[in-house]
Amino acid sequence: MNEHGWLLLIPRTLRFESQLAVRHLRAGGRQTLLTVSAVAAGVIIVVFVTALIFGLQGRWTEVLTEAIPHITIRVTELTPMALADIPGVSAGAVSTLIEQRAPQRRNIENWAQVVAIVRDIPGVRVVAPAVSNQAFASKGGNPIGVSVIGADPDIQDQVTPVTENLIAGHYRGLTSEEIVIDYELARDLNVSTGDRIRLTSSTGAVESFTIAGIYSQGRGRGSAYITLRTAQSLYGLGTAINTIQVKVLNIYEADRVAGRIRALVPYEARSWIQEFPQFLSTLRMQTASAYLISGFSLIASSFAIASILIVSVLQKSKQIGILKSMGARRRQILRAFLLEGLGIALVGSVAGASFGTLIVYLLSLIEQPITRVGQQPEALFPVAIIPASIGLTMVAATVSTVVAALLPARRAARLNPVDVIR
Amino acid sequence: MPPVVIETRELQKSYFGKVTVPVLHGIDLRIFAGEFVAIIGQSGSGKSTLLNILGALDVPTSGTVLINGVDISTLDDDALADLRSEEVGFIFQFHHLLDEYTCLENVLLPLIIRQGSVGDAERDRVIRLLERVGLGHRLDNHPDEMSGGENQRCAIVRALANAPRIVLADEPTGNLDSRSGQEVFALMRDMNREVGVAFVMVTHDDRLAQAADRILLIDDGRMRQLDKEEHRVRTEGMR
C-alpha cells in the first residue's frame, strides 16, 4: 500500500500529522534508527531479564516441588504453650503441677474416607496415603539413618517421581520384600540391585529387603521406598497410616487447597508454602528485583529517546515555523511529534521483543554438562518465554517512549515561528 | 474602490530586553484587495517585523491590525492559525520548502494542514498552477533536485494554494540571481493580476519596487508612501 493508500485509513483530522510523522521517520535515517534501537535495547533487556529470572524461579520451584508433596496431611500435634498464653489464665499465674499428656491420636485410621474427601476437592491432582518414618539401614557394617516411605508405587510415583530417576532396577511392581533406595545410600552401604539390606525401624522392628531399584535425584540423600503394607507392619500401625500426601494442579494454590482440607477433615494440612516460607519470600525479592531492573532499563531508554527527539525538534524548528506560518495549529504539531514517538515506540517494541525472544530462545538451547550419575540433560539458562510478560513489556516501552516524546513535542508546539524563520 | 484587506492603526512594536528597542512607531497602513505593494527601507528599519505582524505571526506592542475587517488581537491561537491558513500566504527570502516532500506535495501541504486531505479538483487546480509557473515537469522532484529559482516558484504556488486574499513576501528574490529574481517577480506580478490576490512585498531591489502599484518606505520606524517619481529620484540620488 502506498502512502496515499494508508493515509485514507487514518482519520481526516490526523492525516497531516500522520504523514508528517512518517516523513520525519523516513527522512531521519540514522537518527530514526538510533531512536528505534534505544527502544529496542530497553525491550531486549527487559525481555531477557524477566525471562531469565522467571525461568530460574520456575526451575527452582519445579526442583523444590516436584520431589515433595504440595500438601502433607498429618495428625495434629499438640504444641507446648506458655501458661500466660492460655485464654482465661490471669497474668502472673504459676503452675507447679506437671500433668501427664492426654493420650493423642498419632495415626490416621480412617484414611480411606479422608482420601476420598480430599480427592474431590477442586485443584487436587493426586492423593497418596503413606507411612513416613525413620529407620536405620545396614548391610553388615554401621547402620545409616534413612527416611522411609511406604506407599503404593504407582501413586507415590506421581508425588515424588522415583521411576523416572531410576538408575537401575524398578519401582513399580514393588513386592513386600523389596526396597528402592537412592544412589548415595547404595554407595555408602556398597550395595547394588539384588543385594539385601536390613531396616531397623524406630519401634525396633527389623526387616530384610532385596534392593529392587536405585535412583538418583541429585539432591542429597533421598528416602527409601517400600510398599504401604510392609511399612504398616514395620512400624506397627496395623491398617492405619500416618500421612497423606497431596499434589495439586497449581502449586501456588496449595495454601488455598490446604485450608479447604483443614476445613473438611480433622487433621493438620500444611502446604509446601508453609513448609518453606523463606523460599517464597526469596521469589518475591527476585520478582521485585526483576521489575526494578526492567523499570530502570525502560526509564534509561526513555531518557535516551527524549534526548534524541529534543535534538530532532531543534533540527526541525525552522520547518515547524514554516508549518505554523501555513496555518498548522499548536496541537497539530504536538500530535505530529507524538505520533513520531509512537511510531518509534511501536517499531522499537516489536523489534526489541522479537530480537529479545530470539536471544532467549537461543540461550534456552544451551545445555549443561552432565556431572552426576543419572542426570537428565538440563538447560544452562532455564529461561521462561512468557507471552503476557513480553506483551506487557511492549506496552510499557510504548507508553514510556510516548511519554518521552511528550517533552520535545510540547517544545515543538510552543515554538514561535518568528523566532525560527529567518 | 476595492475593499481593504489589511489595515493597521497606530501600530507600534518594540523589542524588550536589557534595552528596549523601538522598531515601529505608529504605522497606519491600508492594503487594498488585488493591489501590489512594495515596502522598502534600510536593513533593520522594521520591514520584516511589519510583515510578520501583518501575517499574524507576531504581535504588535500596541495598535490595531485588521485583516479583512477582523481585529486579530481578538483571536485566540487556533483562530490565528486558521487566519494564516485561509487568508494569508507567505513567501520568504529562502524558499523553506520541506525537504521530505516533493514539489507537488509541498504545494498541497497548506491544504492538507487545513482539511486533512485534498480533493481531485483542488489537486488539479494546484497542478495547473505549477504548470503555469513552468514546474509541470517538476511535480515529483524534491527541493534538492530543483534550482533556486524553481524552488522559489514552487514556494509562490504554495503561498497561493489555499487561495488566500493576501500574500506577504519577504524579499522573495533576495536569494536569487538577477535573472531568476526577475522571473520570480514577474511571476508574482502575473499571479497578482490573474488571481486578484493582494501582494505585499518587502524588497531592497528598487527596480522591482518601481514595478509595484505602490511603494511604501519605512524610515526610522515610520512609514510614508513614495510616489514613483520620488522613488526614482531618491534611488538615483543614492547611486
Question: Does residue A414 fall inside a structural domain?
Answer: yes
pLDDT digits (tens, 9 = 90+) for A338-353: 999 999 999 999 999 9
Query: What's the mean pLDDT when you consider all of chain A?
Result: 86
| Residue A137 within a domain | yes
> Both A36 and A115 in a single domain?
no
Residue B118's SS3 state is: coil
Chain B hits for A12, CB-CB cut-off 8 Å, are 115-117
Closest CB from A27, A322, A418 relative to B100: A27
User: When comparing pLDDT for B150 and A421, which is higher?
Assistant: B150
Whether residue B57 and residue A324 make contact (CB cut-off 8 A), yes or no, is yes
Using an 8 Å CB-CB cutoff, list chain A residues near B43. none
- And the C-alpha cell for A248? 495439586
Chosen domain end from A217, A241, A266: A266
Domain architecture of chain B: domains with CATH: 4-95+157-238 (3.40.50.300)
pLDDT digits (tens, 9 = 90+) for B35-68: 999 999 988 888 999 999 999 999 999 999 999 9
Q: Are residues A299 and A249 both part of a single domain?
A: no
User: Which class for A364: exposed (0-12), middle (13-18), buried (19 or more C-beta within 10 A)?
Assistant: middle
Res A3: pLDDT: 54
A251 plus A284 within the same structural domain: no
Kindly compute the dihedral angle of the four CA atoms of residues B173, B178, B181, B185, in this order, to the nearest 10 degrees.
110
- pTM (two decimals): 0.73
**Residue at A96 is within a domain:** no
CA distance A301 to chain B (A): 27
Q: Which three cell numbers stand for residue A206?
A: 527389623
> For residue A201, which of A142, A132, A103 has the smallest C-alpha distance?
A132
Q: What is the dihedral of CA A86, A91, A92, A98, to 10 degrees?
A: -10
Nearest CB partner across the interface for B58, out of A14, A26, A418: A418
A342 & A412 share domain: yes
Per-residue pLDDT of B137-192, as tens digits, reads 999 999 999 998 899 999 999 998 888 999 999 988 888 888 888 888 888 898 89
List phi, psi (to 5°) of A129: -70, 140
Check whether residue A288 and residue A321 sit in a common domain. Answer: yes
State how far the alpha carbon of A6 is from the alpha carbons of A1, A10, A11, A218, in Å: 6, 7, 11, 60
Mean pLDDT of A298-311: 84
B65: CB partners within 8 A, 6+ apart: B6, B7, B8, B11, B53, B54, B56, B71, B72, B73
Worst-scoring range by mean pLDDT, A116-125, B27-36, B177-186, B189-198? B177-186
Q: Which domain holds residue A200?
A: 76-81+104-266
The complex's ipTM? Answer: 0.89
Are the C-beta atoms of A298 and A46 separated by less than 8 Å? yes
- Whether residue A271 lies inside any domain: the answer is no
Same domain, A260 and A305: no
Provide the strand spans (E) within chain B. Answer: 4-15, 21-32, 36-41, 62-67, 70-71, 88-91, 166-170, 198-202, 214-219, 222-226
Q: Are A41 and A301 spatial neighbours (Cβ–Cβ below 8 Å)?
A: yes
In this structure, the answer to whether residues A60 and A127 fall within a common structural domain is no
* pLDDT tens digits for range A124-163: 999 999 999 999 999 887 889 999 999 999 999 999 889 9
Q: What is the Cα Rg of chain B in Å?
A: 18
Kindly report, residue by residue over B65-85, the tens digit of the pLDDT. Answer: 999 989 999 999 999 999 999
- Res. A97 pLDDT band, cuts 50 70 90: low
* Whether residues A294 and A323 fall in one domain: yes
* The C-alpha cell that represents A339 in the structure block: 505520533
| A50 phi and psi angles, rounded to 5 deg | -65, -40
Decide if A417 and B117 are in contact by the 8 Å CB cutoff: no
CA within 13 Å, CB half, A221: 13
- For chain A, state the CA radius of gyration: 33
Q: Which three cell numbers stand for residue B34?
A: 488585488
User: Are residues A139 and A223 located together in one domain of the fold?
Assistant: yes
B90 with A15: Cβ contact below 8 A = no
pLDDT at A1: 39
Per-residue confidence (pLDDT) for residue A385, from 0 to 100: 86
CB spacing of A15 vs B109 below 8 angstroms: no
Q: Name the residue in chain B with its Cα closest to that of A14.
A: B116
Residue A360: its H or E element: helix A330-364
Q: Which of B57, B85, B86 sits opposite A418 (nearest CB)?
A: B57
**Strands A124-138 and A196-201, bridge-based pairing:** antiparallel
Q: Confirm if A127 and A119 have CB atoms less than 8 A apart.
A: yes
3-state secondary structure B144-211: HHCCHHHHHHHHHHHHHCCCCCEEEEECCCCCCCHHHHHHHHHHHHHHHHHHCCEEEEECCCHHHHHC
Compute the nearest-CA separation of A23 from chain B (Å): 6
Strand, coil or helix: A132: strand
The SS3 call for residue A200 is strand
Instruction: From residue B72, give the alpha-carbon distance in Å to each of A16, B208, B223.
Output: 26, 30, 21
Which residue, of A266, A291, A306, is where some domain finishes?
A266
The answer on A200 and A131 residing in a single domain is: yes
Q: Which residues of A have a CB under 8 Å from any CB of B? A: 7, 11-16, 19, 23-24, 26-27, 318-319, 322-330, 332, 417-418, 421
A112/A249 same-domain check: yes
Please determine, for residue A82, whether its predicted confidence score (pLDDT) is greater than 80: no
Express each pLDDT in A281-303 by its tens digit.
888 888 888 888 888 888 888 88
DSSP three-state, residue A362: helix
How far is Cα A342 from Cα A335, in angstroms, rounded to an integer? Answer: 10
Instruction: Determine contact, residues B96/A322, Cβ cutoff 8 Å.
Output: yes
A99 found inside a domain: no
A153 is written with which cell numbers?
508405587
Torsion over CA of B187, B193, B198 and B204, rounded to 10 degrees? Answer: 40
Does A274 map to a domain?
no
For residue A175 the three cell numbers come to 513386592
- CB contact at 8 A, B46 and B24: yes
**Whole-angstrom distance, CA of residue B190 vs CA of residue B184:** 10
Nine-digit cell at A349?
A: 517494541
- Total structural domains within chain A: 2
- Domain end position, chosen among A266, A293, A316: A266
Residue A135 lies in a domain: yes
**Is B57–A325 a contact, with Cβ atoms under 8 angstroms apart?**
yes
Contacts of B83 (CB under 8 A, 6+ apart): A327, B56, B67, B70, B72, B75
Q: Is the pLDDT of residue A371 over 80?
A: no
Whole-angstrom distance, CA of residue A342 vs CA of residue A322? 24
pLDDT of residue B62: 93
Cell of A355: 530480537
Q: Is residue A272 part of a domain?
A: no
**Alpha-carbon span A242 to A232, nearest angstrom:** 9
Q: Based on the fold, state whether residues A113 and A209 are members of the same structural domain.
A: yes
A230 — pLDDT class (breaks 50, 70, 90): very high
Amino acid identity for residue A78 in this structure = L
